Amino acid sequence: MNAISNLNLEEMRQHVLGRFASLFESQTRTHLFAANVSELVRNIHAEAIQGLQASFRQMAGFDIDPDKKAQFMAGIEQAITPFMRLDETLALLLEERKRQWQQNEKNLLQVMLEFDQISSELSGTLIEKDLLERQSNVLESIILSHEKVTQWKAFIQEILSSFHSIFPFNFFFISFAEKNNLSLYIYYLNNYSEEIRTAARMRLARDMIASLGLPADAPLDIEEFQVVENDCCDDINEINLITVSVPSLEVVNLAGLLGVAYGSAQELTVQEESVIRSILSVMVMVVGSSKALSRTLSELEYYSTHDPLTGLHNRRYFNEMLDYEVGRSERHNHEFTVLMLDLDDFKDVNDTYGHPCGDSVLRQIAETMHATMRKGDLATRIGGDEFAIILTETGREGAMVVAEKLRTELREISFESSDGKTFHITTSIGLVTFPGDAQNVSDLMTGVDIGLYRAKELGKDGIAMLESTERIRTERTNRDHAEKLRDALKDERIIPYYQPIFDCRSGKIWAHETLARLVEPNGETQSAGMFIETIEKYGLGRELDRVILRKALAAMRHCMDEGSEPPRLFINLSAQEIQGRGILGFAEQLCLDFDIPPSAIVFEILERDAIGDMTHMRKFLSNLREKGFSFALDDFGSGYNSFHYLRELHFDYVKIDGAFVRNILNSKIDYALVRNLSHLCQDLGILTVAEFVESQEILEALKAMGIDFAQGFHLDMPLPRLKSSD
């Protein structure tokens, strides 16, 4: 529409200027004609006057009557006078006409110039509007998206197709100076001969290198694209450029140049060149940002599936490929094996030689794994010092060969610390095979973990397989129990039950042992004993201890408020608490809140847990007694060197392992052990508590041995409330 308006405006301008030129020509011709006529009149007048004057002179020489002669001369004089007056009048008329013609010429010229200026300005306005609309059409095509950023080269071709349809040009180019190389991308907007392409390529490469201040022989990668397939017959003698620089992007080490290259036959108006530069200014940001974002996205995509330290694939990619391999092997009836590797005592490397040395070890481990694997196998770093391998189409026997080879090679690597010391690393490997050991991803991961734990239990530096699928079900049950216990703790469905402990001499309730119970959503109550392994494995003991302690002391306070005198409480603690987890401070604060004396609380820990960390145990017992609490060693006698701990540590109470108590009537050995333990504790000033008292006969035998206190189902069952000692 605007193009047509511009064309009509130019035709009108040319037409009016032509009419003005015709008027100038007509006026000039009229002026010349009038001048010629005036000149002719003057000439005729002059000739007539000259003739009359000649006759006058001739008559003056005749000898005639004077009167007649005078009369004749007067007539001639009278005839000449009008001619003279006519010449004077004609001269005045011509002078005035000349002045008017000159004024008309000036006015006409001024009008013509004003019209030409107005029409030119109007034409320029229409051209600028057209250019702006064309510019807008190009900019509308520049819309960023994830796909366009990642495929930025194709995105540029889309923009150029729109660009070229509005502003025809010959070439478009983009150049980048990156960290390790120079890149030049040339887009051809017509089909050109190889000669023209070569000229364009050389010119653009030369100008790019010069503009970036690089040596003339700098290596350059050139990539070319054909955007428009139109044949071009232009004879391009010289290539001209319009360029805009890419701002330096130091974060990604990227700088560059882009612009339009066009042949000398293609003339651009000032407005068109200005609009092209404005479009390039937008494109330079789009191209530079797209290039940088594309690289960043590529790096993010790489690191989303790779471990940045070792270069191996990561856990995410391993999980995806494991799921894929299960499906593939099911379709093709193949076997495959998963290996799980854990570096033995790797923490010692970090603690002894530092984390940089540890990172170097992990990289060397990864290189060895990569070199050992077959093409098609997948080696990954799961996290920390754990690695996993998928051996495709490999059964148990073949996997054992690979695992042994890998274990041996890793064992023989000599690592070096920053101070020049050498050391070695051993590796434990778990192994599980699909479909013989497990048929889905979850079971495969559980099975290979079990194999790895077993390899650790067998002394490390070894390979272990899943012995039985029953272990997988057990592990899954433990996991289910862990989630059930977490929910119960969150919902306050963990409550204390209290089993009375009787004084063997008086027969009265002397204390209660606090036992945890889990209340199911349907109201059914379960013993926490079924969760013992879960509590230990998943670290839920700390939260469980605090819940039971808080509720037990609240129950004791309630009992005291009702006027009863509650007996002391034996409260079980998890092994982690002796490592300074703050349970004693928590208990001390509760005692203050409920106004309960610490002496009424006896904390008990299993013997196998208490003796596992002698250093922390001594400190724990010291803090415990400083705060006024007492301590009981549970399941005493189950340890392999119990007497040693009696000598090293002082306990207030010893609870004799029920496995010995329940058999004292049938086993001379158990009877002798319990009797001797009782006498030993009496000599050391330690009070004894016998567990699992399940008959009156056992109770009588314990009394005869001098056991101080007893508990068991024969005496009383665990109940949800405290009983008074009265």
Q: Quick check: 381 pLDDT over 90? A: yes
Superfamily of 485-710 according to CATH: EAL domain (3.20.20.450)
Sequence letter at residue 573 = L
As annotated, the residues of the chain forming the CATH 3.30.450 domain(s) are 146-305
Closest CA to 373 of 341, 332, 346, 414: 341
CA angle 318, 323, 327 (to 5 degrees): 140
What is the spatial distance between Cα 350 and Cα 117, in angstroms, rounded to a whole number? Answer: 85
pLDDT higher than threshold 70 for residue 199: yes
429: pLDDT strictly greater than 60: yes
Q: What percent of the chain lies above the pLDDT cut of 70?
A: 64
193 confidence band (pLDDT: 50, 70, 90): confident
**pLDDT tens digits, 439-489:** 888 889 888 888 898 888 888 899 988 776 666 666 667 677 777 878 888
pTM for this prediction: 0.52
Highest mean pLDDT among 37-41, 140-144, 207-211, 672-676: 672-676
pLDDT at 385 over 50: yes
- 533-579 pLDDT, tens digit each: 677 666 777 888 889 999 999 999 988 888 777 778 999 888 777 77
For domain 2-138, the CATH class is mainly alpha
pLDDT of residue 259: 47
Task: Say whether pLDDT at 209 is over 70.
Answer: yes
Phi, psi of 422 (to 5 degrees): -100, 150
Nearest Cα residue to 707 out of 679, 671, 667, 670: 679
- Three-state helix/strand/coil letters over 483-537: HHHHHHHHCCCEEEEEEEEEECCCCCEEEEEEEEEEECCCCCEEEHHHHHHHHHH
Query: For residue 4, what pLDDT band results from cuts at 50, 70 and 90?
Result: very low
Residue 110's SS3 state is helix
The mean of the pLDDT values for the chain is 78
Every domain range in the chain assigned CATH 1.10.287: 2-138
Highest mean pLDDT out of 121-130, 361-370, 716-725: 361-370
Q: Once rounded to an integer, what is the mean pLDDT over residues 45-61?
A: 65
Q: What is the pLDDT of residue 252?
A: 41
Q: Which residues contact residue 71 at a Cβ distance below 8 angstroms, ignoring those fewer than 6 apart?
A: none
pLDDT value at position 227? 82
Q: Residue 260's closest CA among 237, 247, 278? A: 278
Residues of the chain within CATH 3.30.70.270 domain(s) are 315-467
pLDDT at 154: 74
Edge-to-edge strands, sheet with 463-465: 378-383, 386-391, 336-343, 427-434, 463-465
> 234: helix, coil or strand?
coil
CATH code, residues 146-305 = 3.30.450
Q: Give the residue, 488 or 379, on which the prediction is more confident.
A: 379
Give the tens place of pLDDT for each residue, 117-150.
Answer: 666 655 554 445 666 666 666 666 666 565 565 6
Whether 157 has a pLDDT exceeding 50, the answer reads: yes
The percent of residues in the chain predicted with pLDDT above 90, rounded, is 27
Q: What is the DSSP annotation of 307-321?
A: -TTT-SB-HHHHHHH
**Once rounded to an integer, what is the mean pLDDT over residues 272-293?**
70
Residues 6+ positions from 52 with CB-CB distance below 8 Å: 76, 79, 80
Tell me the three state secondary structure of residue 65.
coil
Q: Which tens digits make up the pLDDT trace of 285-323?
A: 666 666 666 667 777 778 888 998 999 999 999 999 999
pLDDT band at 710 (very low <50, low <70, confident <90, very high): very high
**Start-end ranges of CATH 3.20.20.450 in the chain?**
485-710
User: Looking at residue 326, what is its pLDDT?
Assistant: 92
Local structure of 657: helix, strand or coil: coil
**Which of 204-213, 241-250, 304-313 holds the top average pLDDT?**
304-313
pLDDT confidence tier of residue 239, bands split at 50, 70 and 90: low
Q: Which fold has domain 315-467?
A: Alpha-Beta Plaits (3.30.70)
Q: Higher-confidence residue: 471 or 342? A: 342
Q: What is the pLDDT of residues 588-637, one digit of tens each?
A: 999 999 999 999 999 988 877 766 667 778 888 888 889 999 988 887 76
365, 344 contact by CB (below 8 A): no
Sign of CA dihedral 134, 137, 138, 140: positive
- The amino acid present at 457, given as its one-letter code, is E
The whole-angstrom separation of Cα 315 and Cα 307 is 8
Residue 626: count other Cβ atoms within 10 Å of its Cβ: 11
C-alpha separations of 229 from 79, 165, 185, 236, 628 in Å:
92, 13, 18, 17, 94
In this predicted structure, the answer to whether residue 390 has a pLDDT above a threshold of 70 is: yes
In the chain, the N- to C-terminal Cα span, in Å, equals 109
